[in-house]
């Protein structure tokens, strides 16, 4: 692995979080990314990005992670599922985080509920200004879309968990794609118990690509009118289902 660069980068490994992954599979994947000399550098952050395109409904069945998932009582069930997934994968990556620390690479887990998967991945990669996108092997069915729309360098995880570089350079030749409403939580993977106690979850509700506004400053009418054009951010402890509860009585956003 090369020495530190002037500007730390963000490397994103994207996968379908609706399909659970095993600890061995994750470790092999991250080990191979760490050993791939041209992708990660000291000071970088490796983000394991899981996309949930289906989330639990309070009545017990699963629903598509669309705009209706972010209204009324649905938000609580969705938040619980996203938080559960974040903690599950953080626990799976504790050993990998220690190995990453020796390479001066931080590892974090981010779970985003939204659909379609390819648009959510594009949105997250663009938002964090990723230097690399590494696609899980199950996401390669949309490879043409990613190579066309993703501005960063691109690689894929193959069936044997090795890393194959598809595009070793960034590109600016991309199209404008409308971003969809998405809800996400992220959490760094601790390398020690002390660090674990200091970790704070971060919750983000994103819709569109306009500048952000605090959830506390928005009422349900504003949310309804801005689903396609606004970005809402808040800390997990200040974002509750009561913020959106009254929206369930209104007409669903289109």
The pLDDT, as a whole number, for residue 5 is 56
Residue 20, sorted as left (phi over 0), alpha (psi -120 to 50) or beta, turns out to be beta
Per-residue DSSP letter, 2:
B
Mean per-residue pLDDT, 4-19: 86
Q: Quick check: 25 pLDDT over 80?
A: yes
pLDDT value for 176? 78
Question: Where do the domains of the chain lie?
Answer: 10-249
pLDDT band, residue 251 (cuts 50/70/90): very low
Q: How far apart are CA 220 and CA 114, in angstroms?
A: 20
Predicted local confidence at residue 225, as pLDDT = 43
Across 2-11, 17-26, 58-67, 196-205, which has the greatest mean pLDDT? 17-26
Q: Who wins on pLDDT, 27 or 231?
A: 27
Dump pLDDT digits (tens) for 163-191.
999 999 999 888 877 776 678 899 999 98
Condensed to tens digits (0 to 9), the pLDDT of residues 114-169 reads 889 999 999 999 999 999 999 999 999 999 999 999 999 999 999 999 999 999 99
Widest pairwise Cα distance in the chain: 55
Long-range contacts of 231-236 (CB under 8 A, 24+ apart): 231/205, 231/206, 231/207, 232/204, 232/205, 232/206, 232/207, 233/204, 233/205, 234/203, 234/204, 234/205, 235/200, 235/201, 235/202, 235/203, 236/83, 236/185, 236/200, 236/201, 236/202, 236/203
3-state secondary structure of 180: coil
Instruction: For residue 213, give both structure tokens.
Output: 């506004």
Neighbours of 15 (CB within 10 A): 24
Q: What is the pLDDT of residue 75?
A: 76
Give the pair of three-digit tokens for residue 160.
Answer: 């044997």
Q: What is the mean pLDDT of residues 18-23?
A: 88
């Amino acid at each position: 692995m090369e020495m530190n660069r002037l500007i730390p980068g963000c490397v994103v490994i994207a996968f379908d979080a609706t399909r659970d992954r095993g600890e061995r599979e994750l470790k092999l994947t991250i080990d191979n990314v760490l050993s791939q000399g041209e992708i990660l550098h000291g000071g970088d952050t490796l983000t394991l990005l899981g996309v949930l395109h289906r989330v639990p409904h309070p009545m017990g069945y699963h629903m598509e992670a669309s705009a209706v998932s972010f209204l009324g009582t649905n938000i609580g069930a969705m938040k619980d599922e996203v938080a559960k997934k974040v903690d599950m994968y953080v626990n799976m990556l504790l050993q990998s985080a220690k190995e990453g620390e020796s390479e001066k690479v931080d590892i974090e887990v981010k779970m985003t509920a939204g659909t379609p998967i390819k648009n959510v991945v594009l949105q997250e990669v663009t938002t964090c200004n990723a230097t690399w996108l590494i696609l899980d092997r199950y996401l390669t069915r949309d490879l043409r879309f990613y190579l066309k729309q993703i501005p960063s360098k691109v690689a894929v995880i193959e069936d044997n968990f090795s890393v194959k570089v598809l595009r070793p350079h960034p590109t600016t030749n991309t199209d404008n794609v409308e971003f969809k409403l998405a809800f996400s939580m992220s959490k760094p993977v601790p390398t020690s118990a002390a660090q674990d106690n200091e970790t704070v979850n971060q919750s983000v509700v994103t819709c569109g690509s306009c500048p952000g506004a605090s959830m506390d400053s928005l009422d349900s009418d504003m949310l309804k009118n801005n689903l396609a054009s606004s970005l809402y951010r808040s800390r997990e402890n200040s974002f509750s289902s009561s913020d959106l509860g009254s929206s369930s009585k209104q007409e669903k956003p289109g």
